[in-house]
Amino acid sequence: MLEKGLGKTLLSEEQLKDIVVRLGREITETYKDSENELVVIGLLRGSFLFMADLVRQIQLPMTTDFMTVSSYGDGTVSSGDVKVVMDLDETITGCDVLLVEDIIDTGNTFSKVIRMLQNRDPASLKICTLLNKPSRRQVEVPIDFCGMDIPDEFVCGYGLDYAQKYRNVPYVGIYTGPVDEGSSVTE
C-alpha cells in the first residue's frame, strides 16, 4: 500500500492544486514587468513535484535550474556545514531568481543557500515554499511566496519524504510510521 505509515491528510490533491495555482498567479504578477531573465531554481530532491506543477502556472518566460545541497554528511543530524552536491548549470548574475523549496523548517540550511546565491549577484532573489513551519524556525528566512503555514508535524508526500519514501504520494500527510533506530523525523 502506497500510504502505509501516513496518518491524517494535511493537504489533499485538490488543496495542493489550489495552492499552486494561487502561487503561480502571485509570482506572475510580481515578475510581469521585469526586464530581467527569470530563473526558477529548485532545491532537490523535495521540491521537484511542487516546482514542476508551479512553473506550469507561471505565465512568463523563464528558465529552470536545480541545486542539491547537504548539511547532513553521513548521519541524520545536520552538521551545520552546507555542501553543494550539485550546483547550477547556468550563471544567475543579473537575473531575477526564484528559489523554490518544498518546506522551510528551522531555516538553518536554507539561509546558507540564500547567502550562497546572493553572492552570485542576481538582480533579485525571492523565496517560494510550499510549506512553512514557523514554530520550528531558528534562523529567519525571508519568504516571499508561501503555500501554507503548517503545525510542527513531520509530513510526507508530494515530494516530501521519510528515508526517501513517500515522495510519490499525491497528497501531503502526517507521518505516523515507525522511526528507524538512529533516524530523526525532523526536517
- Name the residue with cell 556545514: 81
Q: Could you say which of 53, 96, 102, 105 is catalytic? A: 105
- The burial of 112, by beta-carbon neighbours within 10 Å (0-12 exposed, 13-18 middle, 19 or more buried), is given as middle
Cα radius of gyration rounded to whole Å, the chain:
16
pLDDT at residue 185 in the model = 45
Task: Say which residue, 70 or 41, is predicted with more confidence.
Answer: 41
Q: Is 180 annotated as catalytic?
A: no
Closest CA to 151 of 167, 172, 126, 177: 172
Q: Is the pLDDT of residue 184 over 70?
A: no
122-124-127-128 Cα dihedral, nearest 10 degrees: -100
Instruction: Give per-residue pLDDT as tens, 5-48.
Output: 788 999 999 999 999 999 999 999 999 999 999 999 999 998 99
Instruction: Kindly report the pTM of this predicted structure.
Output: 0.89
Which of the following CATH numbers is that of domain 18-69+81-154: 3.40.50.2020, 3.30.565.10, 3.20.10.10, 3.40.50.10470? 3.40.50.2020
Q: Give the separation between CA 150 and CA 97, rounded to whole angstroms.
A: 25
pLDDT in tens, 151-183: 999 999 999 998 889 999 999 999 988 766 544
pLDDT band, very low/low/confident/very high, at 122 (cuts 50, 70, 90): very high
